Homo-oligomer: A and B are copies of this chain.
Amino acid sequence: MNLESNMINDEQAVEIFKALSNQIRVNILQMLKEPDNNFSPQAHVIKEKDFDGGVCVSDIRSKVGLSQSTTSQYLSLLLQSGLVEMKRIGQWTYYRRNEETIKQFEKYIGLKI
């Protein structure tokens, strides 16, 4: 598998720009950089290697102060753009950053913008 061939294209880049064109969504992505520091101690932050760093929707919701549905929609928008990944475990849905996409996005900015 060629690890250097994952460069995103213009279309996907625009989807990412849209996802980031909202301060709260940027904040969510930033919070997820350090879940242990940015969420309450009793938050559901996954520790297992399985989906390490994943945070559940309601914990994100209580940080951003939006309604449950808006939080959910913002997260699925971030998911569609590829900036985060998601895993459902039981009744919880965990979201965490997709560092691979973020790295390719950075690369795109440097080369194409």
Contacts and interface: CB of A to CB of B under 8 A. Distances in A.
Interface string A8-38: 0011011001101111001001100000000
A11 to B, nearest CB: 7
A52 interface: no
A113 interface: yes
A102 interface: yes
**Which range holds the interface residue count of chain A?**
20 to 34
17 contacts: A10-B23, A10-B26, A11-B23, A14-B22, A17-B17, A17-B18, A17-B20, A18-B21, A20-B21, A21-B21, A26-B113, A29-B113, A30-B112, A105-B109, A105-B113, A106-B109, A106-B110
In the A-B complex, the 9 residue pairs with the smallest Cβ-Cβ separation, listed nearest first, are A17-B20, A17-B21, A18-B21, A21-B21, A17-B17, A14-B23, A106-B109, A109-B109, A106-B110
Given A17-B21, A20-B21, A20-B113, 15 more contacts: A10-B23, A10-B26, A11-B23, A13-B26, A14-B26, A17-B18, A18-B21, A21-B21, A26-B113, A30-B112, A105-B113, A106-B106, A106-B109, A106-B110, A109-B109
